[in-house]
Structure 1
């Protein structure tokens, strides 16, 4: 599919020149900094050298004093306390962090992860009833609860208090909880609202440390869990998150918790540096798979265990869940693609809405993402659950999916989400009308440009500009993620050096060796799923390449390589 390259405007010339001079780096690198809002020596120092001192006082968060007061009272009175969180990565890492930390100071503690298929996301009535049966009087809810007004009221009637630690946008009314910790509260002046759910949980235990004069390093021991949540929940890696991710990755690479160590082992990543991308594509999916296929509680048990043997067996089980998840994902995606390929009407639409009652509920969000990538249009994937159609929706750059679904809200039992991702439930009898209305709205509101994949390019450089010093400094831009994405470069008018070839089991990848027309500089690269472009390279005509710069380690030797994202062939003989 043809992609559009959007090359960003260069940063302010004077600021770029100033940074280049004071940091002794080339203008390409100083321009990347200015594009990211780093404009002075001190800002560059903070960017390149994250420090614990850059973390904010946890008591700046609204209700933190109330939260610690209520927790202290529970510990003093030996009340039964439950730690509650969702079954996804952010939820399970949050629960694991707070449970593990508090277990060192308090025994009357349990955790609870709701069942994905029986209770769904967030606080559940079933969970509250269970807490009442267990004579629990305090629940610490993580990564959820900020909109659970009626459920918290129900819990209060049963004598159960809640401390809510959430990072989602609150509704017009806050729950009547003992404390509501959420940096997105309108009345909260906390300096950073981009924390993950686990990040809010970290601030909670950091506040406990401050109140009781416990060394903060007791909280820092759990930053590997925070880093996993930051990467998996796709929150901006700027501000506090950059510091937390930086040190969390350090711990993940040097001394991870026993559970994470064994996940790294089953993922085949021992002995190599773990990055944010590794968390997103290797660690996070395995933790998520427990909740998708079996129980999110299994993930927590693995993440909190201190028993090596138990961690080994549980990580193998979770890896099997992930294999099962991948099988469902692969099969359902293929079925969905075949449904569209066999129906000309579906192919011609501006949106995709598919329903199959047998599709596995645990992977339809992944399938929606894959179909969105393949056809590049707003996509809704539905399956049957408890007599209703339930599903996940994904959008394309610039198109507000939430508004499109809200346009059909009279057909829905419930829905929630944001601009690019949402969940929804509706009666099966309403599916056909939903398909019609959703397509009608998309067709009327989406622009032609929004139906073409966009690649945001940081700057145009030459192959000759990529040297060891350039790459050494570029690596210090890490950790990469939203707000600080891995830089994307374009180099124009390169040629195949004559050695490019197809590689991979099915010969569907492209290994290239390219020479730059102007400088004669030669660089190697890899383009996944780009094997079909080999013949275009070999015509002898120049072409343009779009790529990121990676480190390739093979047989203990390290080299710089381009990771191709796209190629364009605008030049003819």
Structure 2
């Protein structure tokens, strides 16, 4: 790993903030690194408020979207809530459908089949709407590039409202309303909402017509917080407030479907990390292994006993998903070794029988071994479909755009994308993608970077610091859990490898006259030699609480160690 120490803020700013907030150097530095430099900005950071949420009508086309939905409700039109099959899409559909059902019974949901229809708005979905007399489709977490499909719907007399957060292409679809803060002509102040976040802005705008505020819609925020965590959007600004209040709902009064998932995993207080690694994979597993409809059914169910039976099925899908992605990852690693592609700038692998639902996860797993932009392809009908994942700092979306002559369709973000291409273009595309990445990537990005907030001494690790760090949550992009570095650390002599396969490292650290503190390093078992015989080493770590037998103690969650 490359250790990168974040720049130190100016001493005068640290001293000023220390005085204003009555905090120490460590806390003042951490806050300044997060652009918090006044009492007011610190108050907003530590005490998120609904006042931070912007007026939804600042979003372009919001007035048109609200007017069209109000007309549909007044005329008892059939409304189809349409969304993608991932966590952001299914939570968005659950949110919009649940809210609209408080206004009208003429609401149904539609999730495209990952295998038969693929990502986003589909012709099959529009045909379904036409055949079942739906005159309005509200598309969530998709639609921003569906130019031809929206035109097709218009021909069939179906209106579209698009709620998306992906980058638009050169042209905006000719829908009744296109809500997307990333539109160039949209002046909405916060650009980093997820799809479910855009959906929440729409129901906030609708509710405002009844004199309600976002605070009156708090019951929907368990869905929004889950989507924020799963979609890895920056947890700053509006997202921080929405995630903060959403986590409160998840931990105190979640909807029956969410409560049923939590009951299955038997976890008490959930953090945003738990949402990402416990709730989100289960919701995602439905669309990966079976159908996204199962996730929507679970998340919209109002009877807990029924939800509990659905949650058991969802849990099984997740177990199946884990086994499948483990097997495919092994096969993909064999492909790379067999083809002698370990030294390339990219990883591009293909096998026609790989499960389309897990290739994105497999791409992420391959990055853990070969840290470089990665695409995993499988057969999808008469085309090849791939999931792309990138390394920190490299925009894989732009790299795919540079290869677009060989691609049928693609979309996504800087770090994750999906694409399809014709089988005869695979080898040419693969060569071009390697060339594009080789010519544009900074070679240092091919070594994982560990960003370290600041260097401290072990005697600065105490319960008071831990209490304040906990208030920095919820953590996520642009507000990651603080990582510290300490030099000249020694193990007390009892360091050892632990775990079933001895792949983890457990040690007890000291530094000059500091108290002893336990450190645990997952996957760091191969570093044991660096700490034996009381050698001095440098440690990079986060601070966490360890709860054991009713006792709570501080420990270091080791990220890496160096001699």
Q: TM-score, normalised by structure 1?
A: 0.95
Structure 2 residue aligned with 1:250: 248
Structure 1 residue aligned with 2:292: 296
Cα distance in structure 2, aligned partners of 1:128 and 1:176 = 15
Q: List per-residue Cα deviations over 1:88-114 (Å, max 9, x = no partner).
A: 000111111111111112111111111
Report the CA distance between 1:346 and its aligned residue. 1.2
Counterpart selection for 1:287 from 283, 287, 295: 283
SS in 2 for 1:353: strand
Cα distance in structure 2, aligned partners of 1:433 and 1:330 = 29
In the TM superposition, what are the counterparts of 1:11-410 in structure 2 within 5 Å?
11-214=9-212, 216-269=214-267, 271=268, 273-343=269-339, 345-410=340-405
Cα distance in structure 2, aligned partners of 1:464 and 1:61 = 49
Structure 2 residue aligned with 1:566: 560
SS in 2 for 1:399: coil
Report the CA distance between 1:528 and its aligned residue. 0.7
Q: After alignment, is 425-434 or 128-137 more displaced?
A: 425-434
Is the 2:91–2:223 contact (alpha carbons within 8 Å) kept by the matching residues of 1?
A: yes
Structure 2 residue aligned with 1:8: 6
Counterpart selection for 1:491 from 486, 494, 498: 486
Report the CA distance between 1:268 and its aligned residue. 3.0
Cα distance in structure 2, aligned partners of 1:95 and 1:469 = 42
Cα distance in structure 1, aligned partners of 2:338 and 2:225 = 43
Report the CA distance between 1:19 and its aligned residue. 1.3
SS in 2 for 1:164: strand
Cα distance in structure 1, aligned partners of 2:216 and 2:62 = 19
Q: Which runs of 5+ in 2 are unaligned?
A: none
Q: After alignment, is 389-398 or 47-56 more displaced?
A: 389-398
Q: List per-residue Cα deviations over 1:119-141 (Å, max 9, x = no partner).
A: 11111111001100111111111
Q: List per-residue Cα deviations over 1:388-447 (Å, max 9, x = no partner).
A: 221112222233323433333322222233432222222223322333332233333333
SS in 1 for 2:363: helix
Two-structure CA RMSD over aligned residues (Å):
1.5
Q: List per-residue Cα deviations over 1:524-562 (Å, max 9, x = no partner).
A: 121111122223211321000011111222223222211
Is the 1:401–1:420 contact (alpha carbons within 8 Å) kept by the matching residues of 2?
A: yes
Cα distance in structure 2, aligned partners of 1:267 and 1:485 = 25
Is the 2:50–2:215 contact (alpha carbons within 8 Å) kept by the matching residues of 1?
A: no
Cα distance in structure 2, aligned partners of 1:205 and 1:509 = 47
Cα distance in structure 1, aligned partners of 2:400 and 2:4 = 29
Is the 1:502–1:508 contact (alpha carbons within 8 Å) kept by the matching residues of 2?
A: yes
Q: After alignment, is 206-215 or 469-478 more displaced?
A: 206-215
In the TM superposition, what are the counterparts of 1:413-492 in structure 2 within 5 Å?
413-492=408-487
Is the 1:12–1:34 contact (alpha carbons within 8 Å) kept by the matching residues of 2?
A: no
Report the CA distance between 1:215 and its aligned residue. 5.3
Report the CA distance between 1:353 and its aligned residue. 1.4
Q: List per-residue Cα deviations over 1:468-516 (Å, max 9, x = no partner).
A: 1111011111111111111111011100112222222222211221011
SS in 1 for 2:451: strand
Cα distance in structure 2, aligned partners of 1:536 and 1:143 = 47
Q: Give structure 1 regions of 4+ aligned residues with deviation exceeding 4 angstroms.
A: none
User: CA, structure 1 residues 438+182, in 2 after alignment: closer, same or farther (shift >3 Å)?
Assistant: closer
Cα distance in structure 1, aligned partners of 2:142 and 2:211 = 29
Cα distance in structure 1, aligned partners of 2:439 and 2:61 = 45
Is the 2:85–2:291 contact (alpha carbons within 8 Å) kept by the matching residues of 1?
A: yes
SS in 2 for 1:382: strand
Q: After alignment, is 415-424 or 378-387 more displaced?
A: 415-424
Counterpart selection for 1:556 from 550, 553, 563: 550
* Alignment of 1:533 onto 2:527: yes
Is the 1:101–1:219 contact (alpha carbons within 8 Å) kept by the matching residues of 2?
A: no
Q: After alignment, is 415-424 or 13-22 more displaced?
A: 415-424
Q: After alignment, is 52-61 or 311-320 more displaced?
A: 52-61
Cα distance in structure 1, aligned partners of 2:244 and 2:266 = 22
Cα distance in structure 1, aligned partners of 2:293 and 2:388 = 26
Cα distance in structure 2, aligned partners of 1:241 and 1:125 = 33
Q: After alignment, is 245-254 or 519-528 more displaced?
A: 519-528
Is the 1:404–1:438 contact (alpha carbons within 8 Å) kept by the matching residues of 2?
A: yes
SS in 2 for 1:228: helix
Cα distance in structure 2, aligned partners of 1:421 and 1:176 = 27
Report the CA distance between 1:13 and its aligned residue. 1.8
Report the CA distance between 1:383 and its aligned residue. 1.0
User: CA, structure 1 residues 58+258, in 2 after alignment: closer, same or farther (shift >3 Å)?
Assistant: same
Cα distance in structure 2, aligned partners of 1:451 and 1:171 = 29
Cα distance in structure 1, aligned partners of 2:309 and 2:461 = 45
Q: Which runs of 5+ in 1 are unaligned?
A: none
Cα distance in structure 2, aligned partners of 1:148 and 1:511 = 52
- Aligned residue pair count: 563
Cα distance in structure 2, aligned partners of 1:67 and 1:433 = 43
SS in 1 for 2:358: helix
Cα distance in structure 2, aligned partners of 1:461 and 1:291 = 45
SS in 2 for 1:539: helix
Is the 1:258–1:311 contact (alpha carbons within 8 Å) kept by the matching residues of 2?
A: yes
